[in-house]
Chains A and B, each alone.
Chain A
Amino acid sequence: MQTVVITGVSGYWGQRVAQQLLAMPDLRVLGVDRRPPAELLPGLDFIKADIRNPLLVELLRAEQVDTLLHLAWRQRQWRREEDFESNVLGAMQLFGACVDAGVQQVVWPSSTAVYGAQPENPLYMPESTPLAARSSYAWLHDTLEVERFIASFAAEYPGTRFAVLRFANIIGVEVDSPLTRLLRQPVWPDLLGFDPLLQVIDADDALAALVHAARSPLDGPINLAAPGILSLCQLAGRLGRPTLPILHWLVYWGWPLMSSLPAGRELLAWFPLEPDYLRYPWIADLSRMQGELGLLPQWSARQAVQRLVEGLRVAGYQAAAAEQPYAADQLERVLAQRGAAAAGRVQVDVL
């Protein structure tokens, strides 16, 4: 019986991963978050705590935790002190606690954006490529800090495996990633004359990778993306969104001023990805994913985009249905997981 701890279990990814792991009979799943999950997860041992709580190390030790999935992450464009404390300092303290408590494996999702979009980069960047991103955005800045911390920390403590899953742009109707924020805008910003190549991965494939990483020994960074690449204009065309081409030097020239003014920052919400990522390709090499991990995404880049397009079309008609609490399918899932024998005493354990 393995024990898995999920931090940030109340978030979108935490909930989805917990659901999947709870369905596996040989796992015990503990969830940690600062707020309780919105959707009830039967079988989950929920602990209401912040990841910076010093007592967490005692919990990890007492429960003899094998694997920790660190999914507590605040993805914001501009830096806020409390986000930085939670993302970077929180992750550092948590990983320290894991090493202290003898946790076997830590899984942390990162992004292929850490390689940076630079003209000098190779087209298929292996995991060993230096992390050359230069970013003024908080989410990428924090990701880079944690990446660099893990690189040195893991070398000091070889007893704990650090599986860093560098995901390409995760796309899905419900997903909040920089690219999906761009995709949702009615008009996209675009640098005139540039059409960068990029990779995507379907949200379901990303989920499968997280679940897989929670159950199998993995060490070090690993790139994850769907096979096939897309260009930004192709993506805009498939989603039927117009782009507004802007002279690139105008964007680069105005960027420092805009990002230093509060009003400018609000305008720059139009750029969920920084100009470099709209200008140069950022394509990661997938040989480790295909070889060592043996994980093949179910959907290719083209299919993932097609799913998103269809999902977005349907989403407009489903808004009312999704908001109904305790929808029928959820009760069904509760009953199924409890099993037919226990059907008589269904009680949903809250906290």
Chain B
Amino acid sequence: MSEPAAPGQAMNDDGWLAIDDRAAATPPAAPQADFGDGLAIDDRLTAQRQQESERQGRLHEELSRFAGAAQRLAPPGAEALAPNVQEMQRQLSRLLGPLYPRQLIEQGGVWLNPDLWRGAWYVSSYLLAAQTGSLRRRLAGEYEIDDFGRDQGFIDLLMPLMQFFYRNYWRVEVSGSQHVPEQGRGLLVANHSGVLPFDGAMLGVALYNETASQRLPRALADSWFPTLPFISTLLHKTGQAPAHPITALRLLERDELVVVFPEGTKGIGKPYRDRYQLRRFGRGGFIKVALQAGAPIVPVAIVGAEEIYPMIGRVEPVARLLGMPYFPLTPTWPWTGPLGLAPLPTKWFIDIGQPIHLDGYDARAAANPAIVARLSDQVRAVIQRMLLERLAQRRSVFFG
């Protein structure tokens, strides 16, 4: 402010140069070598123009190829309605006469290329036809669901959103994916957390992305979730099944990958201060199922999910009133309404451990509570150790 303005430069009140003047204030360009030689400049301009027109020519060629390719894609009937930019220009010039902004339109370049608009029309009419076609088929019930209600078309629809959460939101890092059996049965046992079961969804996406055979596992969901509207439909459409030993055994016998969270609702609804402290592993039902089906147990530790909704309290009366296993209180829920449903963008790690084979036991061991309890505790200890190992390396909750 104290510095005086150079002569010929306007100065604002606060002493900064006005933007327009800043351009003027830049030093003039260095004198060119062929200064004063008009021919050289003309040559260069001609060469530039030629280059430019060649580039334009190539572009128009590309666009005409694009329009041709798009035309083959388009549904019948789209051709008759395709926009003709040249004809439009002609009509416009006839209508406006001398008012027609010829100069402006000639400079329009690629944006007034008729092939571009034709191609765009064909592509959009193709997309519209494909979308309405698939919507029509869906409304007419012409889609297949598998023996557990999984709807592949629905999964394909949902996958981009899940991938966004996986890659961009929680930036999931997976280690040990080679331990997941590429084929055949397997029982993945993981810690459960995060109030809403996003950990199951992310583990599913992780296995889909990281296994060569793109395996989509099936998680076993607590019987509370099927009582909720939309969530119940979402669960069976994405291939999850009710948590029942009979269902689990049936899935394993079909050589599926089954995900269980033995902590159940005690785990998913655990308070923030108890994060990464594994709860009781139910009654060890998952061990019984693994023994009966002869499936290897793959321990999984999920770090990051326990902080997405820091639960500071639970309201038991409200939970009882709404028939929920718990009613969580977080710093944002329920005070901020639907905003409180947004999970925090923590950094996630999914560590997959070495499979535990239970070959030493026969199916009869499943009936022995002592063996089942011991095995269950062992698996729990393995997952707890994996969690602590990852937590020891983690510097930040949000940046890993």
Tell me if chain B binds chain A.
yes
Per CB-CB distance, the 3 closest pairs between chain A and chain B, nearest first, are A193-B229, A237-B141, A122-B244
| Bound-state Cα–Cα, A233 to B139, Å | 8
A219-236 Cβ-contact flags toward B at 8 Å (1 or 0): 000000000111101111
Contact assessment for B147 and A193 in the assembled complex, using a CB-CB cutoff below 8 Å = no
| Bound-state Cα–Cα, A248 to B148, Å | 23
Contact assessment for A119 and B139 in the assembled complex, using a CB-CB cutoff below 8 Å = no
Q: Does chain A have a CB within 8 A of B9?
A: no
- Shortest distance in angstroms between A163's beta carbon and chain B's nearest beta carbon? 23
Given contact pairs A121-B242, A229-B147, A234-B143, A191 touches B223 in the complex (Cβ within 8 A): no
List chain B residues, Cβ under 8 A from A233: 141
**Looking at the complex, which one of A125, A197, A230 makes contact with B236 (CB distance below 8 Å)?**
A197
| B250 to A, closest residue via Cβ | A124
Q: Show 6 residue pairs from A and B whose CB-CB distance is below 8 angstroms, ordered by the A residue.
A: A123-B250, A191-B229, A194-B229, A195-B232, A236-B141, A238-B140
CB-CB contacts below 8 Å: A228-252 with B: 228-231, 233-240, 248
Contact assessment for B226 and A192 in the assembled complex, using a CB-CB cutoff below 8 Å = no
| Bound-state Cα–Cα, A120 to B236, Å | 14
- Shortest distance in angstroms between A89's beta carbon and chain B's nearest beta carbon? 35
- Shortest distance in angstroms between B22's beta carbon and chain A's nearest beta carbon? 60
Contact assessment for B247 and A122 in the assembled complex, using a CB-CB cutoff below 8 Å = yes
| B232 to A, closest residue via Cβ | A194
| B225 to A, closest residue via Cβ | A119
List chain B residues, Cβ under 8 A from A121: 242, 244
| Bound-state Cα–Cα, A260 to B247, Å | 37
Q: Does chain A have a CB within 8 A of B138?
A: yes
| Bound-state Cα–Cα, A119 to B226, Å | 6
Contact assessment for A193 and B141 in the assembled complex, using a CB-CB cutoff below 8 Å = no
List chain A residues, Cβ under 8 A from B149: 197, 229, 231, 281
- Shortest distance in angstroms between B324's beta carbon and chain A's nearest beta carbon? 13
Q: Does chain A have a CB within 8 A of B42?
A: no
List chain A residues, Cβ under 8 A from B245: 122
- Shortest distance in angstroms between A182's beta carbon and chain B's nearest beta carbon? 15
| Bound-state Cα–Cα, A228 to B149, Å | 10
- Shortest distance in angstroms between B144's beta carbon and chain A's nearest beta carbon? 8
Given contact pairs A124-B250, A194-B232, A231-B149, A119 touches B227 in the complex (Cβ within 8 A): yes
Chain A interface residues (CB < 8 Å from chain B): 119-126, 191-195, 197, 228-231, 233-240, 248, 279-281, 285
| Bound-state Cα–Cα, A124 to B149, Å | 12
Q: Does chain A have a CB within 8 A of B145?
A: yes
B112-141 Cβ-contact flags toward A at 8 Å (1 or 0): 000000000000000000000000001111
| Bound-state Cα–Cα, A233 to B138, Å | 10
**Looking at the complex, which one of B140, B223, B237, B244 makes contact with A240 (CB distance below 8 Å)?**
B140
List chain A residues, Cβ under 8 A from B139: 237
- Main SS of chain A's interface residues? loop
Contact assessment for B142 and A281 in the assembled complex, using a CB-CB cutoff below 8 Å = no
| Bound-state Cα–Cα, A312 to B288, Å | 48
Q: Does chain A have a CB within 8 A of B230?
A: yes
Q: Does chain A have a CB within 8 A of B16?
A: no
- Shortest distance in angstroms between B236's beta carbon and chain A's nearest beta carbon? 6
List chain A residues, Cβ under 8 A from B244: 120-123
List chain A residues, Cβ under 8 A from B211: none
| B230 to A, closest residue via Cβ | A193
List chain A residues, Cβ under 8 A from B143: 234
List chain B residues, Cβ under 8 A from A279: 227, 232
Contact assessment for A119 and B145 in the assembled complex, using a CB-CB cutoff below 8 Å = no
B145-168 Cβ-contact flags toward A at 8 Å (1 or 0): 101110000000000000000000
- Shortest distance in angstroms between A102's beta carbon and chain B's nearest beta carbon? 37
Q: Does chain A have a CB within 8 A of B246?
A: yes
B205-237 Cβ-contact flags toward A at 8 Å (1 or 0): 000000000000000000110111111110011
Contact assessment for A237 and B233 in the assembled complex, using a CB-CB cutoff below 8 Å = no
Contact assessment for B229 and A123 in the assembled complex, using a CB-CB cutoff below 8 Å = no
- Shortest distance in angstroms between B255's beta carbon and chain A's nearest beta carbon? 16
List chain A residues, Cβ under 8 A from B147: 228-229
- Shortest distance in angstroms between B220's beta carbon and chain A's nearest beta carbon? 10
Given contact pairs A123-B250, A281-B236, A237 touches B142 in the complex (Cβ within 8 A): yes
B236-268 Cβ-contact flags toward A at 8 Å (1 or 0): 110001101111001000000000000000000
| Bound-state Cα–Cα, A285 to B139, Å | 29
List chain A residues, Cβ under 8 A from B229: 191-194, 248
List chain A residues, Cβ under 8 A from B242: 119-123, 281
| A241 to B, closest residue via Cβ | B141
Contact assessment for A237 and B140 in the assembled complex, using a CB-CB cutoff below 8 Å = yes
List chain A residues, Cβ under 8 A from B231: 193
| B143 to A, closest residue via Cβ | A234
| Bound-state Cα–Cα, A249 to B229, Å | 10
| Bound-state Cα–Cα, A279 to B230, Å | 11
| Bound-state Cα–Cα, A122 to B223, Å | 10
| B249 to A, closest residue via Cβ | A122
| Bound-state Cα–Cα, A192 to B230, Å | 8
